[in-house]
Amino acid sequence: MNQLIDFPYQHVLVLGLAKSGTAATKVLVKSGKRVRVNDLKTELNDPIVEELQQLGVEVITGGHPLHVLDGIDVLVKNPGIPYSNIIVQEAERRKIPILTEVELAGQLASNSLVGITGSNGKTTTTTLIYEMLNHSKQQVKIAGNIGTVAIEVAEQLQQNETMVIELSSFQLLGVQKFKPTTAVVLNLFEAHLDYHETFDNYKNAKANIFMNQTSEDFLVYNLDDKKVVDMCQPAKATKVPFSTKEKVGNGAWCDQTHLYFRDEQIILLEEIALVGQHNLENILAAVSAAMLNGATKEAIHQVLTTFTGVRHRLQFVENIKGRLFYNDSKATNVLATSKALSSFDQPTILLAGGLDRGNDFDDLIPYLKQVKAMVVFGETAEKLMELAEQIGIEKAELVDNVKHAVQRAYQLSNENDVILLSPACASWDQYRTFEERGDMFIEAVHTLK
């Protein structure tokens, strides 16, 4: 079991329990650190509080009194807690370092770490890399937002094992020494500005994935995304680009018929099971990272001919009387929905809407040409109705929720239509998670049968 050997802080405040906070607390205690926990919503009689108290942890719940920072050397915060939080602001004022759990995970698993970030496609790419390495008989574990908390995986990681981890900007903002041996940057789009405030802040958080890398490490990046190219320019790692538009000598690329890594032909494009141009970029990134970490061509071919997608990410759900239903609930911004729409040529009914973060939807317009109808819901429904009217989509209707959207879309549909849930918005106005929203979609589709 790995412990924090070079972690220089002795008295730690963990802000926010949830999965990552609880896991970080337990690792810190096992590493001989003195830990205090502060959580706003958890009750003192919660079983997890009692468990932590039995480990010697001081737990303060129900509020955020400033005295929780007294005597503290470092703050480890839940990634979802904004920097406007009163405790975080006071920690900044007192010049107390602010970290997230992945910083600790990186110190526990420094030997072989593949980290993936980007505005879209992280989960698909992370899963592909894991599957490619696993099918190559490599010792590999997957961590992050798509499964087990990173620090839990890192604590158990053996010397011969690789950890593949999905990394959000929220997590990367709170790192100091974190250094993946292979970093992957997929794309950059103006996202999470309600948290980061500016695109530069968001971009700088993403750039932390490679800030500590050296020439012995690899940086896999999207040569077709100018924002990514500009961001990666100062990186010291060995750069491995990927491109759907041009041949690259040191990375993955494709022509009209085949996908290549460097000069080696990997697979016929028509053999790839995963649909969508955006997924081709994810595949190129995954092939690069997997090959750099010892994957075999045969294993990669096997994965790419059988892998049809991750749940809630352009997931094919059902064919009902010739209507094809796709669940893309993970599309929480305009870029993701644009890429989903560009995956289809046939008439499409778009189900969209959700949390209003203040952005408009004009960037969707070029991708709506094949959209015959829109069914919208949530806080942004009126904005989307205005968009439909602006570009002349005659059938646009507002409903209460995703379940009703499925029912109405089916009524509006004809044979050979695609019915696509791709909300272009976060889910939190009506649903706790995008997974919950997607599950409602799937259930409603199955009810139609």
Average pLDDT over residues 5-10: 93
Q: Report pLDDT for 356.
A: 94
Average pLDDT over residues 354-378: 95
Q: Are residues 290 and 156 in the same domain?
A: yes
Q: Report pLDDT for 194.
A: 63
Statement: residue 75 has pLDDT above 60 = yes
- Residue keyed to tokens 């439909």: 388
Domain range enclosing 252? 102-306
Give the residue ranges of DSSP H helices in 36-167: 47-54, 86-93, 101-108, 122-135, 150-156
Annotated binding site: 118-124
Statement: residue 362 has pLDDT above 70 = yes
Average pLDDT over residues 396-407: 98
Higher pLDDT, 159 or 195: 159
Q: Report pLDDT for 191.
A: 57
3 in a structural domain: no
Final residue of a structural domain among 306, 328, 360 = 306
Q: Are residues 206 and 276 in the same domain?
A: yes
Q: Are residues 227 and 172 in the same domain?
A: yes
Band of pLDDT at residue 118, cut at 50, 70 and 90: very high
Q: Are residues 337 and 421 in the same domain?
A: yes
Q: Are residues 189 and 156 in the same domain?
A: yes
Average pLDDT over residues 389-395: 95
151 in a structural domain: yes
How many angstroms separate the Cα of 66 from the Cα of each of 38, 90, 96? Answer: 10, 7, 13
Band of pLDDT at residue 311, cut at 50, 70 and 90: confident
Final residue of a structural domain among 99, 130, 153 = 99
Q: Report pLDDT for 192.
A: 60
Give percent above pLDDT 90 in the chain: 83
Statement: residue 381 has pLDDT above 80 = yes
Lowest mean pLDDT across 213-222, 234-243, 252-261, 315-324: 315-324
User: Domain containing 433 — which CATH number?
Assistant: 3.90.190.20
Q: Report pLDDT for 277.
A: 81
Number of domains in the chain: 3
65 in a structural domain: yes
Does pTM surpass 0.85?
no
Q: Report pLDDT for 335.
A: 87
Lowest mean pLDDT across 1-5, 25-29, 165-169: 1-5
Statement: residue 146 has pLDDT above 70 = yes
SS3 404: helix
Query: Residue 366's closest CA among 387, 380, 382, 346?
Result: 387
Statement: residue 259 has pLDDT above 90 = yes
88 in a structural domain: yes
Average pLDDT over residues 7-27: 95
Q: Are residues 286 and 431 in the same domain?
A: no
User: Domain containing 67 — which CATH number?
Assistant: 3.40.50.720
Q: Report pLDDT for 278.
A: 81
Statement: residue 131 has pLDDT above 60 = yes
Q: Are residues 234 and 302 in the same domain?
A: yes
Q: Are residues 257 and 121 in the same domain?
A: yes
Query: From CA 366, how far away is CA 364, in angstroms rounded?
Result: 6
Amino acid 26 reads K
Query: From CA 438, how far away is CA 325, in angstroms rounded?
Result: 12
Final residue of a structural domain among 241, 271, 306 = 306
383 in a structural domain: yes
Strand partners, 12: 35, 74
Instruction: List, for residues 97-117, the tens digit of each pLDDT value.
Output: 999 999 999 999 878 999 999
Q: Report pLDDT for 18.
A: 87
Q: Are residues 16 and 51 in the same domain?
A: yes
- Tell me the two tokens of residue 112: 């072989």
SS3 67: helix
Q: Are residues 136 and 274 in the same domain?
A: yes
Q: Are residues 406 and 283 in the same domain?
A: no
Query: Residue 7's closest CA among 22, 23, 29?
Result: 29
- Tell me the two tokens of residue 366: 């070029």
Statement: residue 186 has pLDDT above 60 = yes
Q: Are residues 259 and 377 in the same domain?
A: no
User: Domain containing 216 — which CATH number?
Assistant: 3.40.1190.10
Instruction: List, for residues 35-64, the tens digit of each pLDDT value.
Output: 999 999 899 899 999 999 999 999 999 999
Do 247 and 237 meet the contact criterion of CB atoms below 8 Å apart? no
Query: From CA 130, how far away is CA 122, in angstroms rounded?
Result: 12
Average pLDDT over residues 278-292: 96
Statement: residue 408 has pLDDT above 90 = yes
Mean pLDDT rounded to a whole number for the chain: 94
Annotated binding site for ATP: 118-124
Statement: residue 190 has pLDDT above 70 = no
DSSP 8-state class, residue 84: T
Q: Report pLDDT for 113.
A: 96
- Tell me the two tokens of residue 226: 């100018």
1 in a structural domain: no
Q: Report pLDDT for 148.
A: 85
Query: From CA 318, how far away is CA 325, in angstroms rounded?
Result: 5
Average pLDDT over residues 405-416: 97
Helices (H) and strands (E) in the chain, counts: 16, 20
Higher pLDDT, 394 or 240: 240
Q: Report pLDDT for 308.
A: 82
4 in a structural domain: no
- Residue keyed to tokens 């015959």: 372
Q: What is the dihedral of CA 261, 264, 269, 273, to 10 degrees?
A: -70
218 in a structural domain: yes
Q: Report pLDDT for 195.
A: 59
